[in-house]
Amino acid sequence: MTIIWFLVILFCLIMYIVFDGYDLGIGVGTLFERVPERKRHMIELVATGWDGNETWLILLAVGLWGGFPLAFGVILPHLYLPLIIALFALIVRGGSIELISQTENPPQILTWAFGIASLVAAFAQGFALGELTSTAHVVDGVYTGSEGGFPWYPIVLGVTVAFGYTALGYAYLKLKSEGELRVSAARRGGVVAVVTVVLGAVSLISIAGTAAPLNLATPGRALTFWGLIVFALVGAVTAAVNFRRRTDSHPTADLLPFAGLVVTTVATLLAFTVSHYPLLVPPSLTVNSAVGPYNTMVFLLVGIGLNIPLIIFYHWFAHRTFGGKFRVHETPQARTSILTGASNER
């Protein structure tokens, strides 16, 4: 049961990183977009999905709380600052995006707040993941403090994740947009994806210097790890190549950048899991030492586990309703003007 629940939590983490990754990434993209209409278009695209995407983060937190209560009580205080900053950013982001999409002419400060908060959230999340490799002091299951020192590894991972999310964001934009917005997403996305791969390689090598180096002692682990890394690379190369391609010569050129990056993200996360399992936080907090009591695990697996197919359905349904290319004139604001024209014809 421990392993099943651990996999459920890992699944939530992957879903969160892929889905909120793309919408945080589009948010970062708005910072570098000069044309107001395109900026607006990008924000509207995020507005239809961010709420559902962020729900995976809550399920991740609550899944950890119920299934591994000791880990919840240690990891969160251990990552206090980056998580608090990520939360600050997510609040500002959620508030500003709805204010923007419900207002005809939103003040500039809101769009800036949205973009900056997206960037800060992405960096802080990477930072938090990176800090999982630093030592937490635990006495009798109670967190008593963290190992000090300059947090260089979290910074490296924070930058990597910020670039990775941005690449996902551009890939999603290429998939969902048309015209010049798609062209610029393709151009920028290709560059960001290549930078991400380089940063990813740096993170991979430099993790050896942390308190939680890769554990590839058994051949099984080493083989799985390197296999997954190969997958990740293949995904990234596919994405980088297809960012450049046009749909008239390659019909799948809009889908493959996003699909490739999703493969990369999933494979990388699995690779890190394989190389650390069952360790959660160094030196000694493991999955088995933190697992909740039997009655709790049964309740979780039945109550929440059985609901997971259903929530995947909701998630799919919400994305499907807004499937296909997302068009500017479908936005609620633009609709007014289009319609006034339409009703005049009548």
Partner 1 sequence: MSLIDLSRWQFALTVCFHMTFPAITVGMSVFLCVIYAMYWRTKKPVYLQMFRFWRRIFAVGFALGVVAGEVITFQMGLNWGIFGAKTGPIIGPIIGMEVVTAFFVEAGFIGILLYGDGRVRHLTMFVSTVMVSIGTILSTTWILAANSWMQTPQGYTVQNGQYVPTDWVAAIFTPAFAWRYPHMLLAVLISGAIFIAGISAYYLVKNRSKGFARRSLSIALGVAALLVPVQLLVGDGLAGNVDVAYQPSKLEAIEGNWQNGNTGWVIFAIPDQAAAKNLVQISVPWLGSAIAKDPTGKTATPGLDNTPVNDRPDMAATFWGFRAMFFASLFLFATAFMSVVLRLRGKLWESRRFHKYVLWTTPIGIVAILGGWVTSEAGRQPWVVFGLLRTSAAVSKLAPGTVLFSVIGFSLIYLILLVAYIVYIVHTVKIGPERDDPRVTADLTPGATVESESAAPVELTPEVAR
103-132 residues in contact with partner 1 (CB under 8 A) are 103
Q: CA 269 → CA 13, 153, 200, 338, distances in Å?
A: 9, 17, 11, 45
Nearer to partner 1, 63 or 164 (CB): 63
- Only segment of 26-34, 154-162, 225-233, 301-309 that touches partner 1 (CB under 8 A): 301-309
Nearer to partner 1, 35 or 312 (CB): 312
- Only segment of 23-31, 166-174, 225-233, 293-301 that touches partner 1 (CB under 8 A): 293-301
Contact 296, 67 (CB under 8 A): yes
Site for partner 1 in 19-58 (CB under 8 A): 47-49, 51-52, 54-55, 57-58
Site for partner 1 in 143-172 (CB under 8 A): 143-145
| Distance in Å, CB of 210 to partner 1, minimum | 22
- Only segment of 95-103, 211-219, 255-263, 279-287 that touches partner 1 (CB under 8 A): 95-103
Q: Please list the residues that pair with 279 across neighbouring strands.
A: 286
| Distance in Å, CB of 17 to partner 1, minimum | 16
Nearer to partner 1, 183 or 308 (CB): 308
Examine residue 308 and tell whether it contacts partner 1 (CB under 8 A).
yes
Examine residue 284 and tell whether it contacts partner 1 (CB under 8 A).
no
- Only segment of 94-102, 186-194, 200-208, 235-243 that touches partner 1 (CB under 8 A): 94-102
From 211, 231, 315, 334, residue interacting with partner 1 (rule: CB under 8 A): 315
Nearer to partner 1, 112 or 314 (CB): 314
| Distance in Å, CB of 190 to partner 1, minimum | 29
| Distance in Å, CB of 284 to partner 1, minimum | 16
Examine residue 274 and tell whether it contacts partner 1 (CB under 8 A).
no
The rounded distance, in Å, linking the Cα atoms of 69 and 89 is 26
Could you write out the three-class secondary structure of the chain?
CHHHHHHHHHHHHHHHHHHHHHHHHHHHHHHCCCCHHHHHHHHHHHHCCHHHHHHHHHHHHHHHHHHCHHHHHHHHHHCHHHHHHHHHHHHHHHHHHHHHHCCCCCCHHHHHHHHHHHHHHHHHHHHHHHHCCCCEEEECCEEEEECCCCCHHHHHHHHHHHHHHHHHHHHHHHHHCCHHHHHHHHHHHHHHHHHHHHHHHHHHHHHHHCCCCCCCCCHHHHHHHHHHHHHHHHHHHHHHHHHHCCCCCCCCCCCHHHHHHHHHHHHHHHHHHHCCCCEEECCCEEHHHHCCCHHHHHHHHHHHHCCHHHHHHHHHHHHHHCCCCCCHHHCHHHHHHHHHHHHHHC
Q: Which tokens is 147 given?
A: 């190992």
| Distance in Å, CB of 338 to partner 1, minimum | 9
From 10, 61, 204, 216, residue interacting with partner 1 (rule: CB under 8 A): 61
Examine residue 303 and tell whether it contacts partner 1 (CB under 8 A).
yes
From 72, 114, 225, 243, residue interacting with partner 1 (rule: CB under 8 A): 72
| Distance in Å, CB of 178 to partner 1, minimum | 17
Examine residue 344 and tell whether it contacts partner 1 (CB under 8 A).
no
